């Protein structure tokens, strides 16, 4: 299975390269940003910095065994422990564990409770259960004007977030406007956006391609997402198609949806694809330019939701050709082995 995934990734990268979307791997060698350089942080293990001058009194004091922290530790050593302290600590750890495991907002997609659902084309995906509940809430009220655009009640949304993070289900009484806002907040709180930074940088580069190849490149880029992100993106595209289908009532067409959702689904800043890109002197896109590009990207994805994260025919053909080539090599190899064995056997007989 791992070999198949790696082979598929290689075929996708080759197809992107042919379209003109290349990403230098040199950017992965260093994980230090500009802020790290300004602070003097380096990943060179041989780098040694010597401090000049005498140590400050504060540093000297912190090393002294007579400081306040040391005294506090000494006092705790001689303080008799309560027989209930161990049980109290265990209860605190248990509450903290439950709090962290029940939390929904601000966690990775693969860490929140998930369910298997079927899309409109019968594709099965695994997505966060809370996301499914929110989307179903919106679907039941899909004709309401201003979905995803109106703000709703921030106090109600805060109360619902606290309730959800304790492990409770979404109440049935939640207003659809609040539900739509919570969906945006959930997506925005993800540690890694749905379109992760590395894939996003490729998609941004794809936007510079000609009109006839741009969409093909973007679809290929979505196939590079992790499985949890692909499933969630597939589910959202299926859901957005329902919202757009009711745009005559809710006034949320693909463009309007992209405007309000782009800051929540896509990275708000551009991650340079490589160190060579940084040193080439190319300027970073401003926040306004990045936002406009993200809106254009998301609108393109929504309008072509049926193609997102699906293998294009060109990639399928390339994989089939590889399979045929591999099968031919295996067949030729299998046919050559008996001849080789027979030849060696005959040589051994003659030698006798």
Report the residue count for the chain.
352
Residue 115, H or E segment: strand 114-118
pLDDT at 51 over 90: no
CA dist 112 and 98 (Å) reads: 13
**pLDDT band of 120, cuts 50, 70, 90:** very high
**pLDDT band of 350, cuts 50, 70, 90:** very low
Interval 72-100: pLDDT, tens: 666 666 666 555 556 556 555 545 544 55
Q: Which of 8-17, 177-186, 272-281, 334-343 has the lowest mean pLDDT?
A: 334-343
Q: Which CATH architecture has domain 109-274+283-313?
A: Orthogonal Bundle (1.10)
Rounded to an integer, the average pLDDT of 122-150 is: 96
Q: Is the pTM of this model over 0.75?
A: no
First to last CA, the chain: 49
Asked if 98 and 167 count as a contact pair (C-beta separation under 8 A), the reply is: yes
pLDDT at 288 over 80: yes
State the burial class of residue 71 (Cβ atoms within 10 Å of its Cβ: 0-12, 13-18, 19+): exposed
CA dist 215 and 198 (Å) reads: 18
CA dist 170 and 159 (Å) reads: 11
**pLDDT band of 183, cuts 50, 70, 90:** very high
Alpha helices (H) along the chain: 2-19, 34-38, 57-63, 68-77, 85-102, 129-140, 154-164, 176-188, 197-206, 211-222, 227-245, 247-250, 254-265, 275-279, 287-303, 313-351
Q: DSSP secondary structure string, 203-254? A: HHHHTTS-HHHHHHHHHHHHTTS-HHHHHHHHHHHHHHHHHHHTHHHH---H
CA dist 186 and 178 (Å) reads: 12
pLDDT at 104 over 60: yes
State the average pLDDT for the chain: 77
pLDDT at 62: 45
pLDDT at 135: 97
Q: What is the rounded (10 degree) CA torsion for 26, 32, 34, 37?
A: -120
pLDDT at 203 over 90: yes
Angle formed at CA 156 by CA 154 and CA 158, multiple of 5 degrees: 65
pLDDT at 331 over 80: no
CA dist 244 and 12 (Å) reads: 30
pLDDT at 352 over 50: no
């Amino acid at each position: 299975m791992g070999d198949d995934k790696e082979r598929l990734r290689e075929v996708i990268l080759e197809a992107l390269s042919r379209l003109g979307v290349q990403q230098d791997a040199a950017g992965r060698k260093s994980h230090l940003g500009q802020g790290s350089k300004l602070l003097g942080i380096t990943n060179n293990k041989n780098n040694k910095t010597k401090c000049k001058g005498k140590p400050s009194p504060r540093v000297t004091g912190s090393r002294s065994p007579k400081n306040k922290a040391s005294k506090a530790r000494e006092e705790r050593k001689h303080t008799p422990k309560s027989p209930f302290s161990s049980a109290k600590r265990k209860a605190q750890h248990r509450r903290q564990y439950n709090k962290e495991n029940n939390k929904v907002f601000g966690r990775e997609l693969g860490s929140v409770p998930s369910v298997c659902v079927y899309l409109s084309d019968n594709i099965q995906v695994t997505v966060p259960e809370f996301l499914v509940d929110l989307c179903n809430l919106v679907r039941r009220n899909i004709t309401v004007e201003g979905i995803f655009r109106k703000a709703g009640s921030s106090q109600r949304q805060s109360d619902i977030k606290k309730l959800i993070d304790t492990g409770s289900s979404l109440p049935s009484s939640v207003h659809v406007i609040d539900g739509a806002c919570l969906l945006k907040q959930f997506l925005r709180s993800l540690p890694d956006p749905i379109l992760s930074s590395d894939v996003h940088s490729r998609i941004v580069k794809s936007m510079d391609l000609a009109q006839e190849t741009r969409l093909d490149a973007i679809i290929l880029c979505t196939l590079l997402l992790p499985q949890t992100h692909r499933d969630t993106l597939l589910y959202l595209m299926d859901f957005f198609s329902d919202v757009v289908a009711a745009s005559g009532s809710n006034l949320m067409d693909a463009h309007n949806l992209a405007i309000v959702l782009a800051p929540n689904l896509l990275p708000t800043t551009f991650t340079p694809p490589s160190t060579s890109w940084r040193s080439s002197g190319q300027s970073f896109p401003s926040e306004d330019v990045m936002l406009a590009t993200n809106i254009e990207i998301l609108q393109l994805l929504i309008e072509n939701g049926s193609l997102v994260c699906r293998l294009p025919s060109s990639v399928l053909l390339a994989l089939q050709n590889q399979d045929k080539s591999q099968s031919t090599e295996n067949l030729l190899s299998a046919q050559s082995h008996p001849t080789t064995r027979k030849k060696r056997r005959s040589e051994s007989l003659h030698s006798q």
